Structure 1
Amino acid sequence: MRLLLTVIFLTHASFGAAADLSLLKQDGVVALMRHALAPGTGDPAGFELGECSTQRNLDDRGRAQARRTGEALRDAGVTFDHVWTSQWCRSRDTARLMDMGEVVEKPPLNSFFGGQGDRARQTAETRALIAALPPDARLLIVTHQVNITALTGRAVRSGEIIVTRRTEDGLRPVGRISIDR
């Protein structure tokens, strides 16, 4: 199987040239990944947080995507000091299948799509959790489109990573990574 790795540096609102994974090796990086492919939108009626059978989950393509992404990162020597995820099964499964370290669930990373949570509160709590880490800690967060957009102002595809740097005002996007077949 051949992998295509795309890394794009962000400068202002435009995209720059492709690069390697060195962005993820820098001290203090925060990598925000949308869970891998999970067909559909939102969650079915009757959704229960602790019951995966009631949720929209990764399909075979999503599980393979998560494994390939983790493999590509490990092969490039990328490591993280912390791996956080939402409590939704598709995010937890993505993080676990990537095999980048111990996966810790953080409720503020739960989706607030369709009014399921509180965007302002969860975004503020996520920022506070990040700010509490040592400045040089490298963090991988696996969460949902709405959470990533709230933190960065950027949209993200399934399985895509927005690479950010911490600032006094929050997170500043510096790159995008997408690992495809």
Structure 2
Amino acid sequence: MSKSPSPDRRLALRRGAGTVAGLALVAATGWPRPGRASADAAALLRSGGVVLAIRHAIAPGTFDPPEFRLGDCRTQRNLDEAGREQSRRIGGWFTERALAPQAVRSSPWCRCVDTATLAFGRAEVWPALGSPYGRAETSNAAALAELDRQLATVADRPGGFEVWVTHQFVLSAWVGTSTASGEGLLLRSAAGRAEVLARFQVT
């Protein structure tokens, strides 16, 4: 007899179903081509009620070193000069369009904090955006549920938006799509889950 899926697995299955439905709208209109900010990005941000979730800028390598410690950037994988310049270009895109996020939230990892700070001059560290490194499956599921809850509160604030800087693993687990370094996804809450409206990338 087959074993029933765990509560966390059932949450993941429900999330996957919601993600497919959420992507259907975007697929119908087509993704913006990679390598440039979406033509609708500014309009979506101005309309408010959305979050731009960005993968941190270029940080060479794949994983943190074995001696990794939160709070000690010397032990982490960090932005290189290309990543720092990419972060500044993201900030410049917002400045040129007079777009100011109501909040800028970041994973505690240094490469995310640095991306947010170089782009927007500030970063509020939020553990829910952190990499799943070293966390249990239940912790990861709880973090994703927290992201959904916060996204829903942003949806109730027309005319305002937030920027969240996080990791590829987090975005992939949350909305089921991959992102390049410095690339973002415009998200809104739909039936309590994240719906992808457009991709965002500044070159």
TM-score range, shorter chain: 0.7 to 0.9
Asked if the contact 2:148–2:192 (Cα under 8 Å) also holds between the matched residues in 1, the reply is: no
Quick one: which amino acid aligns to residue 163 of structure 1? L
SS in 1 for 2:105: strand
Distance 1:71 1:129 in 2: 26
Quick one: which amino acid aligns to residue 47 of structure 2? Q
Quick one: which amino acid aligns to residue 37 of structure 1? I
The counterpart of 2:132, out of the listed 86, 93, 112, is 112
Deviations 1:133-161 (A, max 9, x none): 46124110000011112221111110001
SS in 2 for 1:10: helix
- The alignment status of 1:57 with 2:73, answered yes or no, reads no
Q: Higher helix proportion, which one?
A: 2
Runs of 4+ in 1 over 6 A off after TM superposition: none
Quick one: which amino acid aligns to residue 57 of structure 1? N
Q: Higher strand proportion, which one?
A: 1
What is the identity percentage for the equivalent residue pairs of Structure 1 and Structure 2?
36
Matches for 1:78-93 after TM superposition, within 5 Å: 78-93=99-114
Distance 1:153 1:134 in 2: 21
Match of 1:6 in 2: none
Asked if the contact 2:54–2:182 (Cα under 8 Å) also holds between the matched residues in 1, the reply is: yes
Matches for 1:142-161 after TM superposition, within 5 Å: 142-161=165-184
SS in 1 for 2:31: strand
Asked if the contact 1:32–1:163 (Cα under 8 Å) also holds between the matched residues in 2, the reply is: yes
The counterpart of 1:22, out of the listed 43, 61, 65, is 43
Quick one: which amino acid aligns to residue 36 of structure 1? A
TM-score, normalization: structure 2?
A: 0.76
The counterpart of 1:125, out of the listed 146, 152, 167, is 146
Match of 1:75 in 2: 96
SS in 1 for 2:202: strand
Distance 1:97 1:45 in 2: 27
Query: How many correspondences in the alignment?
Result: 170
Query: Max radius of gyration: which structure?
Result: 2
- The alignment status of 1:162 with 2:185, answered yes or no, reads yes
Distance 2:39 2:26 in 1: 11
**Structure 1 residues 22 and 62, CA gap change in structure 2 (3 angstroms):** same
Asked if the contact 1:25–1:79 (Cα under 8 Å) also holds between the matched residues in 2, the reply is: no
> What's the C-alpha RMSD, in Å, of the aligned pairs?
2.1
Match of 2:194 in 1: 171
